[in-house]
A = this chain, B = another copy of it.
Amino acid sequence: MGQRARRAGRELAVLTAGQKRAILLAMADGLDGAEETILAANALDVAGARERGLGTAMVDRLTLNHERVAAMARGVREVAELPDPVGEVLASWERPNGLRMEKVRVPIGVIGIIFESRPNVTSDAAALCFKSGNATILRGGSEAIHSNRAIAAVLQESGERAGLPAWSIQLVGNTDRESVRHLAEMDRYLDLIIPRGGKGLIETVVSLARMPVIKHYDGICHVYVDRAADVGMAVEIIVNAKAQKPGVCNAAETLLVDEAIAERFFAVAVPALRAKGVELRGDEWLCGHYPDEVRRAEEKDWDTEHLDLILNVRTVRGMDEAMDHIAAHGSRHSECIVTEDAEAAERFLAMVDSAAVFWNASTRFNDGGEFGFGCEIGISTDKLHARGPMGLPELTIYKYLVRGSGQVRG
């Protein structure tokens, strides 16, 4: 599989933007046309999951229907219409000896995607990797194997009829744990692995992988309400950051409030958050002032991605204490300061080391679509290559082209 992917990668790297667009549109049509086959395969997975007693949330993530297949096809069409990142000239300059230097964007090569449950990842990831000129080796979970096989087959067949190089998109048939180890050791053939799934899966891949891994770990995101905050705005932002969609990585988990504004702020914030059904876990100050609304936070709460209507709340003595808390407990995903004091805001923006730092805006905006990227393969919590929302350019690298006239080194 690795050798085939390498070979496909060489052909993919030189496809034109127009060829790739046509192939993606053919894949999308293929998905629409094969809805029945895909749903039949999916029914086997769903029946299997029920038999094995998987939870309803898990079964829901696994289940496809007309709308979800249509959404997959729509996703592929959207990727087709995005600008092609490959070939972009990132820099060019000339050296005193006459060498003409050019730094151009090229595909990474072969990308492995190891994912769990949601079968739509098969088409999302394949479309993004293909658009950026990469060959893809997909390894989904056993619970979705029939669906994944059906989707991959449709993408391959409909794509190849439109000119997709053979072996550009491959699905690992084997879904046991050994297949993860096997992929993770194929550093000769895989240039990058992106695990998409829970912390356990990511940990396993990180421990085994010999090639680079881009991780999309959890978001322990903070909102800091500065002493100079507009209370109304601060309440709106924390309610949105926590409660608009609590199960996602860019939702806030912890609220830090300068004690200079705490009384005024919480008088509005506590009822607003409670009205949204948010459970509050607070420090001594909070529990003292709101004994009925707030229960005492445990130490481990500060390090927990609740992904639920639970919010940790703490007062701090000024911004430095807030930033210390963030450095100690945050996951460097998304942090926000609410303040009318521009100087304080700029200091927070400069000093907080997170993929995205917000001033007077909800952490929920850390998202490829909201950034205007048109798509994302995930939100990287790593600090190498790609940070924050990963769109098409983040699935590429560069090479240097050097044009001379016989120069040799003296």
Q: List chain A positions with a Cβ less than 8 A from chain B.
A: 6, 9-10, 13-14, 93, 95, 99, 101, 106, 108-109, 187, 191-192, 206-207, 210, 212-214, 230, 233, 236-237, 239-241, 244, 327, 345, 349-351, 353-362, 364-366, 370-372, 382-385, 387-388, 397-409
Contact = CB atoms under 8 A, between A and B. Distances in A.
Contact of A404 (B239, B361, B387, B397): B361
A336 B375 CA distance: 37
Contacts of A244: 408-409
Contacts of A10: 327, 351, 353
Given A10-B327, A236-B408, A409-B240, A388 B384 contact: no
A109 B387 CA distance: 13
B212 A359 contact: no
- 3 closest Cβ pairs, A-B complex: A361-B404, A240-B408, A385-B385
A399 B387 contact: yes
26 contacts: A6-B327, A95-B370, A99-B365, A101-B372, A187-B206, A192-B383, A212-B213, A214-B384, A230-B406, A236-B406, A237-B406, A239-B408, A240-B408, A349-B401, A357-B400, A359-B404, A360-B404, A360-B406, A361-B406, A365-B409, A384-B385, A385-B385, A385-B397, A387-B397, A387-B399, A388-B400
A355 B95 contact: no
B192 A361 contact: no
A362 B405 CA distance: 10
B397 A383 contact: yes
B101 A371 contact: yes
Q: Identify which of A9, A99, A207 gathers the most chain B CB atoms within 10 Å of its CB.
A: A99
A364 B233 CA distance: 59
Contact of A356 (B6, B207, B345, B400): B400
